[in-house]
Structure formats: C-alpha cells, structure tokens
C-alpha cells in the first residue's frame, strides 16, 4: 500500500485488491460505523459518522459495482490488461492476465542528453536529439502495433505510464485507434521502462486508488 498527499487536502492511498476488504473494515474502525455507501461515477463513496470519507476509484478495466462486496470482487477478478510504458528512448509493452505477465517486449534506443554548448553547436545537437527521439517513438509505435494491437479485442483496458506526451504520440498512429479507445485515464508514474518496471506496473494498474479525507 502506498500513500501520498492529495491536492485540495486528504491523501491518496493505493490498495491491492486482495487487501481492499480489510482496508474498508479498518476505515470503519477508525471513523465509526455505520459507514454509508454511495454510487458515484468514479466508483463508490464511503462516508463515516465522523464526517470522514473515502472515494474508492474503480481500477482500470474492472466493472462498476453498487456495494462494497461487489466492488471488492470486481477489483480482484482477473482481467486482461494491455500495458504501454514510454520514457525518453525506452519503451515497454506487455499483456497481463490478472497478476501474470503473459507477453512483453522492452526496447531501448539511445537519445542524446541536452548539451550546454551554445550557438550552431547547440542547434546541431538539438536537431540530432529531436531526430533520435522521433526514431525512438517510431520504434515504440511499431512495437505496439506488433504486440498490443492483435490483443486489442481481448483487452479490458490499456494502461499507460511514463511520459504522457510520448504515449500520446504513439497512440496517435491511426493503426492504434482500437488501443487508444481502450486507454484508461490512469497514467502510471514509472522510471525508464525495463522488464522489472513492466512487472511492477501490473500491480500499479490493478491497484484501487482511494482518496481519503
């Protein structure tokens, strides 16, 4: 479970679906019972007698629910998820079923860092860097076409991570329209994509995000 401050007050908590029922019980113990449940567009809103609230956001690809038991079951149920992570010159794509990574591919292309040189030299380095970045995104697009696009009909959702602009560029390719239509709102904060990062992304993609106030 991870926790971080939320804009406007409160905190975000990421909870593994297997621990969600226990977390909800703990919320009631801390804030009092009975806890009322309200169906919202994002998922469920829990409101305790002391005024404490917990917004349970439905994880990507999971069906909506009208009560806590249904929400817990939906969040924990296995579902096929596509993953697309991109940052700098690295990209990782994969398909997961539940917590298992079924297929994956990681690719890295060198993208030159920024230079402190000025004048024509700086411009030349900038052009070279832009060309390298474009080539890397082109590779990422082709990788998504080969590995993810054939899986699109069976995917519950596509969860992305890394650099939003890079992801937007990849999914702007017309061939990937079926994947773009499955894209979840959730953008994972990940380091430079590697196989281990892709595996960790499965847990992050399946986590239930809760806003506690």
Domain ranges of the chain: 2-78, 80-205
If you average pLDDT over every residue of the chain, what do you get?
89
Q: What is the pTM of this model?
A: 0.86
Q: Above 50 in pLDDT, residue 112?
A: no
Q: Single out the residue of 4, 14, 190 nearest to residue 87, CA to CA.
A: 190
**More confident: 161 or 89:** 161
Instruction: Read off the pLDDT band of 130 (50, 70, 90).
Output: low
* For residue 26, pLDDT beyond 50: yes
Superfamily of domain 80-205: eRF1 domain 2 (3.30.420.60)
d(CA 190, CA 174): 26
Sign, Cα dihedral of 149, 151, 155, 159: negative
Calculate mean pLDDT across residues 93-102: 96
Exposure class string for 63-95: b at 16+ Cβ within 10 A, else e: eebeebeebbbbbbeebebbbbbbbbbbbbbbb
Q: Higher-confidence residue: 68 or 1?
A: 68
Instruction: Give the pLDDT band of residue 123 (cuts 50, 70, 90).
Output: low
């Amino acid at each position: 479970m991870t926790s971080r401050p939320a804009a406007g007050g409160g905190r975000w908590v990421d909870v593994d679906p297997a621990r969600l029922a226990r977390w909800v019980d703990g919320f009631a113990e801390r804030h009092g019972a009975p806890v009322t449940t309200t169906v919202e567009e994002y998922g469920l809103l829990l409101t305790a007698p002391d005024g404490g609230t917990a917004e349970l956001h439905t994880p990507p690809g999971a069906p909506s629910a009208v009560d806590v038991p249904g929400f817990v079951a939906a969040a924990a149920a296995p579902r096929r998820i596509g993953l697309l992570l991109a940052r700098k010159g690295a990209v990782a794509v994969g398909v997961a079923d539940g917590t298992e990574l079924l297929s994956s591919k990681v690719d890295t292309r060198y993208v030159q860092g920024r230079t402190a040189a000025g004048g024509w030299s700086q411009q030349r380095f900038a052009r070279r860097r832009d060309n390298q970045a474009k080539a890397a995104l082109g590779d990422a697009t082709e990788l998504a076409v080969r590995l993810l696009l054939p899986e699109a009909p069976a995917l519950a959702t596509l969860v992305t991570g890394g650099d939003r602009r890079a992801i937007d560029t990849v999914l702007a390719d017309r061939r990937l329209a079926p994947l773009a239509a499955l894209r979840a709102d959730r953008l994972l904060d990940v380091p430079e994509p590697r196989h281990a990062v892709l595996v960790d992304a499965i847990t992050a993609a399946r986590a239930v995000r809760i806003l506690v106030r």
